[in-house]
Structure formats: structure tokens, C-alpha cells
Copies of this chain bind each other. A is one copy, B any other.
Amino acid sequence: MAARRGRAIRVPSGSLIRIINIHGKQVVDTWALNARDTAEHLSMEHTRASLCKVVPQRGDTLVTNRRRPILSLEEDTSPGAHDTLIAACDRYRYEQLGVVGYHDNCADNFTAALRELGVASVPPPAPLNLFMNVPIRPDGQVEFRSPLSEAGQLVGLRLHMDAILVFSACPQDLLPVNGEGMTPSEVKLMIELSADVAR
């Protein structure tokens, strides 16, 4: 997936998709919609309630807004700093950061990626921000820090329903969200289809 861009993919239940952080510091906003009914989607607020955790860890199963399992965080070779608290960046965010004119953003990437796949537009749910490092201080303040992941580290997601996965290589280049160099980069997506499908 190119730097600053999004991608939507139909993935059958049982498949494993790996998101490989080639350069190490790239945040990947991640969404999953039920392929049969896009009103059902991976939900951060339902997942936090289900796991009793702010951030899912390796082995955890994430749920939809109907509290059904949609995917598991089966592999994670990174230190495990991911984010569930922060909205996808959008044009309003960059306007507030003082950008004049258009700036690529994860919300528009979500919409464009779905359109490319021929899927009717839905508002972007709160994303699972893979590799995004947003520590919570004891006083409840959160900070936007450079990712802890290193080049080549990856996350593997196992699908529990037929889903439309949407990814956005976050184009944030005004804050160290994507590393101190503030240089958005590409990431690699690899899909291992479920045996059922491959047969």
C-alpha cells in the first residue's frame, strides 16, 4: 500500500492478513466491515468493553458493534503499542493544524478505498490504529508519540467473518505520529486465504 493512501479488500472468514511495517514507523488506520451488512463493523468501544482493555494484545479477539467476533490479533511482532482512542485524521484536523489547501487524510482514504471497491459509503467508524503510540499518563492525559515498532515488524489479523478490510497509511506529516522524521511511508499487505477458500 502506497504512502499516504488507502486500500479496501474483501477477505473471507478464516483468512490471515499481515500488515508489515516496512520502514517501522508507519501508522496504519484499520477498519473492518461485515461484508454482508456494512452497518456492522469492528468497533473500538465494544471491543474495549469486551476485552476490558484499552489496547488489544496478541491473542485477543475484537468485536463488532453487535458484539460479534470479527477478527483476532493473531500475530504481533511489534512491542504492541497500538491505539483505539483517536479518530482518523480528516480534513478538519489538518485545517486546525493550519494546513492551507487539501491534505491527504485517513478519513478520505477510507471513503475512497470503499468507492474503489464499489461499496456504498458509510461514515468511518473509530479506527484501530495499528502501530500508533498514544500512551495514557496516570492523570489521563494522552500523548501522540513516535511508534515503538521497528522496520519489518508486523501484525497478523485472523478474520472471523467475511469482511471488507480497509487500511490507510496515515499521511500525518506535521506531528511525529509516523516517526520523528514525519515522513509517511508505504506498508506491505499480505493475505493468506483460508484453506476453505483456497481449496
Contact = CB atoms under 8 A, between A and B. Distances in A.
Interface of A: 39, 43-46, 48-49, 52-55, 65-68, 85-87, 90, 92-93, 96, 123, 126, 136, 138, 140-144
A87 B140 contact: no
Number of copies: 2
B93 A67 contact: yes
A90 B43 CA distance: 14
Given A45-B85, A65-B123, A136-B136, A142 B52 contact: yes
Contacts of A52: 141-144
A196 B68 CA distance: 47
Given A46-B87, A52-B142, 19 more contacts: A45-B85, A45-B87, A48-B86, A48-B142, A49-B93, A52-B141, A52-B143, A53-B140, A53-B141, A54-B85, A54-B140, A54-B142, A65-B123, A67-B90, A67-B96, A68-B92, A126-B126, A136-B136, A136-B140
Contacts of A141: 52-53
Contacts of A85: 45, 48-49, 54, 85
Nearest to A39: B123
A86 B126 contact: no
Q: Which of A43, A44, A45, A126 gathers the greatest number of chain B CB atoms within 10 Å?
A: A45
Contacts of A90: 67
23 contacts: A44-B126, A45-B85, A45-B86, A45-B126, A46-B87, A48-B85, A49-B85, A49-B86, A49-B93, A52-B142, A53-B140, A53-B141, A53-B142, A54-B85, A54-B136, A54-B140, A54-B142, A55-B140, A67-B90, A67-B93, A136-B136, A136-B140, A138-B138
